[in-house]
Amino acid sequence: MNRLLQFTLDLFERDPTPAAPSGPVKRRAAPPRRPKAAPTPDPQLFEPPRPKAPTPSPAGPPAAPLTEVIAPMSFRHPQANRELQLQGTWVAYRFERARRRSIGFVVGPEGLVVRAPRWVPQAEVDAALRTKSAWIVRKLDEARERQTRQAEASVAWADGAELPFLGEPLRVRLQPGALAGGLLHSLPPEAAAEQGVRHLLSLGLPPQAEASQIKDAVQACLMREAKALFAQRLDHYAPQLGVQWKKLALSNASTRWGSARIDGSIRLNWRLIHFSLPVIDYVVVHELAHLRVMDHSPRFWDTVAAVVPDHAERRQQLRLGALPRW
> What average pLDDT score do residues 172-194 get?
82
| Gap between the Cα atoms of 104 and 310, Å rounded | 30
> Within this chain, do residues 295 and 178 fall inside the same structural domain, yes or no?
yes
What is the percent of the chain where pLDDT is above 90? 53
What is the percent of the chain where pLDDT is above 70? 75
> Within this chain, do residues 313 and 177 fall inside the same structural domain, yes or no?
yes
| Res 9 pLDDT > 60 | no
> Within this chain, do residues 305 and 195 fall inside the same structural domain, yes or no?
yes
> Within this chain, do residues 314 and 196 fall inside the same structural domain, yes or no?
yes
Cα separation of the two ends of the chain: 70
| Gap between the Cα atoms of 128 and 130, Å rounded | 5
| Res 17 pLDDT > 70 | no
Cα–Cα–Cα angle for 56, 60, 65, rounded to 5 degrees: 85
| Res 5 pLDDT > 70 | no
> Within this chain, do residues 312 and 166 fall inside the same structural domain, yes or no?
yes
58-72, 118-132, 164-178, 213-227: segment of lowest average pLDDT = 58-72
Residues in the chain: 326
> Within this chain, do residues 279 and 253 fall inside the same structural domain, yes or no?
yes
Coil, strand or helix: which one is 258?
Answer: strand
For the stretch 56-83, pLDDT in tens is 444 545 554 433 444 457 899 999 999 9
At residue 34, the pLDDT reads: 53
Contacts of 138 (CB under 8 A, 6+ apart): none
> What average pLDDT score do residues 139-162 get?
81
Number of Cβ atoms within 10 Å of the Cβ of 296: 12
At residue 323, the pLDDT reads: 78
> Within this chain, do residues 174 and 91 fall inside the same structural domain, yes or no?
no
Write out the residue range of the structural domain in which residue 112 sits: 74-152
| Res 282 pLDDT > 60 | yes
| Res 234 pLDDT > 70 | yes
> Within this chain, do residues 167 and 315 fall inside the same structural domain, yes or no?
yes
> Within this chain, do residues 223 and 116 fall inside the same structural domain, yes or no?
no
At residue 11, the pLDDT reads: 31
Residue 25 lies in a domain: no
Q: Are 233 and 262 in contact (CB under 8 A)?
A: no
| Gap between the Cα atoms of 119 and 31, Å rounded | 103
Burial of 139: CB neighbours in 10 Å, binned 0-12, 13-18, 19+ = middle
Q: Classify strands 104-108 and 89-97 as parallel, antiparallel or unpaired.
A: unpaired
| Res 176 pLDDT > 90 | no
> Within this chain, do residues 192 and 88 fall inside the same structural domain, yes or no?
no
At residue 320, the pLDDT reads: 76
| Res 195 pLDDT > 50 | yes
At residue 311, the pLDDT reads: 94
5-14, 125-134, 295-304, 314-323: segment of lowest average pLDDT = 5-14
Q: Are 95 and 125 in contact (CB under 8 A)?
A: yes
CATH number at residue 254: 3.30.2010.10
At residue 151, the pLDDT reads: 66
20-24, 42-46, 69-73: segment of lowest average pLDDT = 42-46
| Res 39 pLDDT > 50 | no
At residue 319, the pLDDT reads: 82
Banded pLDDT at 2 (limits 50, 70, 90):
very low
Banded pLDDT at 143 (limits 50, 70, 90):
confident
| Res 217 pLDDT > 80 | yes
Residue 53 lies in a domain: no
**Residue type for position 112:** L
> Within this chain, do residues 183 and 123 fall inside the same structural domain, yes or no?
no
Residue 323 DSSP code: -
| Res 92 pLDDT > 50 | yes
Q: Are 272 and 257 in contact (CB under 8 A)?
A: yes
Cα 175 to Cα 102, 208, 228, 317: the distances in Å are 55, 11, 24, 34
**How many domains does the structure of the chain reveal?**
2
> Within this chain, do residues 114 and 201 fall inside the same structural domain, yes or no?
no
**Residue type for position 36:** K
Residue 128 lies in a domain: yes
Rounded to 5 degrees, what are φ and ψ at 213? -65, -40
